[in-house]
Amino acid sequence: MLAPAELVAELAPPPRFTGVRFETYVPNPDEPTQAAAVTAGREFAARVAVPRRRKGMFGRRPQEPAPGLYLDGGFGVGKTHLLASIWHAVTGPKAYGTFVEITHLVGALGFAESVRRLSEHKLLAIDEFELDDPGDTTLVSRLLRELTDAGVHVATTSNTLPDKLGEGRFAADEFIREIQSLAARFTVVRVDGPDYRHRGLPDAPDPWTDAEIDGHAAALPGSTVDDFDALCGHLAKLHPSRYGKLVAGVPAVHIKGLHAVPDQDVGLRVVAFADRLYDRAVPVAVSGEPLSALFTDEMLRGGYRKKYLRSISRLTALARDATE
């Protein structure tokens, strides 16, 4: 088991985003919000370099911009690229993790110890701020209040405006108040545009045959071959924060017998797994049904619609990579 210092030290952008910078983000000329988001990201990173002023004699801190930056927009517009660029532009100490990784950190270290260690940082970057559990979000919102009060700047991305998190999923009054309180600590920057992963590109490749899967895997030592149901069963036994290590260093992932997931629990685990594959740029080849059939029409109309569509977009890009 990793020591607390090692757990915190591991919070850095995944391999796909280790080389990104503001200079490598190419705004869509038809979407002015993208260029504006680059400017906002640069300005936020510059503010992080300046220590926040403490409270004065009478308990009031001078008026300053919100200590948080919230990049809101659809999938495939480069929000994670911008978030990682902010992280790279800031000198340490700093931390970067997905929402799942941050909740796992708090679970592993305890709330007080997590606050103590992260309070020593200038910046905490959180990717994919989304809701699977109102308890997790209440926990993280409390964490962010403690950290921003301690002078830590927080940057995050999401597909949902902060005061709309949980809409269509949870309706508890206390939970809604919690999210609205958190939203006041962020400046929201909208990033609009089409999914860049598929701009001008063909549709996803057709599913492979099982024989093609076996042949491709045999030609790539170290690659994996799994039955879809068996893979889903294995993911259920692991905390999603461990999915990244599951595929670290794997040259390609091959999945046989793909079909629609049976329920939301399995669906959200598949989403988390797909995100970690994308972070590490691991090509994916599948047999069975096409990737577009991974989530049912009912699921794509529900509260997690954006997550499912993002997952299909990312897996489609990885499926193209497997054919190259």
Specify the higher pLDDT residue, 324 or 11.
Answer: 11
| pLDDT score, position 289 | 96
| pLDDT score, position 86 | 98
Partner residues linked to 68 by β-bridges:
154, 186
Mean pLDDT of 5-17: 89
Specify the higher pLDDT residue, 99 or 267.
Answer: 267
| pLDDT score, position 179 | 59
Residue type, 279: D
| pLDDT score, position 257 | 98
Mean pLDDT of 234-247: 91
Using the predicted structure, report yes or no on whether residue 303 has a pLDDT greater than 90: no
Q: Chain centroid to CA 95: how far?
A: 14
Nearest to 71 by CA among 121, 34, 96: 34
Mean pLDDT of 168-172: 42
Nearest to 287 by CA among 211, 235, 202, 219: 211
3-state secondary structure 43-102: HHHHHHCCCCCCCCCCCCCCCCCCCEEEEECCCCCCHHHHHHHHHHHCCCCEEEEEHHHH
Burial classification of residue 221, based on how many CB atoms lie within 10 Å of its CB (0-12 exposed, 13-18 middle, 19 or more buried):
exposed
Distance CA 300, CA 291 (A): 13
Identify each DSSP E strand in the chain by its residue range: 68-72, 94-98, 123-127, 153-158, 186-190, 224-227, 253-258, 284-288
| pLDDT score, position 307 | 85
pLDDT in tens, 69-108: 989 888 889 999 999 999 999 998 999 998 888 988 998 8
Distance CA 321, CA 306 (A): 23
Specify the higher pLDDT residue, 159 or 289.
Answer: 289
| pLDDT score, position 218 | 96
Residue type, 224: T
Reported pTM: 0.79
Using the predicted structure, report yes or no on whether residue 23 has a pLDDT greater than 50: yes
Q: Report helix angle 134-149 to 173-183, nearest 10.
A: 30
Using the predicted structure, report yes or no on whether residue 64 has a pLDDT greater than 50: yes
| pLDDT score, position 24 | 97
Of 87-91, 212-216, 236-240, where does mean pLDDT reach its minimum?
236-240
Specify the higher pLDDT residue, 55 or 45.
Answer: 45
Distance CA 239, CA 269 (A): 9
- Return the percentage of the chain with pLDDT > 90, whole number: 57
pLDDT in tens, 153-165: 999 888 654 445 4
In sequence order, which residues have a C-beta less than 8 Å from that of residue 10 and are 6 or more positions away? 2
Of 15-19, 82-86, 282-286, where does mean pLDDT reach its minimum?
15-19
| pLDDT score, position 133 | 61
| pLDDT score, position 74 | 81
Q: Say whether 171 sits in a helix, a strand or coil.
A: coil
Which of the four pLDDT bands, split at 50, 70 and 90, describes residue 183?
A: confident
Instruction: Give the CA dihedral 255, 243, 279, 216, nearest 10 degrees.
Output: -20
Distance CA 138, CA 147 (A): 14
End-to-end CA distance of the chain: 38
The string over 59-88, giving b where at least 16 C-beta atoms fall within 10 Å of a residue's C-beta and e elsewhere, is: eeeeeeebbbbbbbbbbbbbbbbbbbbbbb
Q: Please, what are the domains in the chain?
A: 4-190 (3.40.50.300), 196-323 (no CATH)
Looking at every residue in the chain, the average pLDDT score rounds to 86
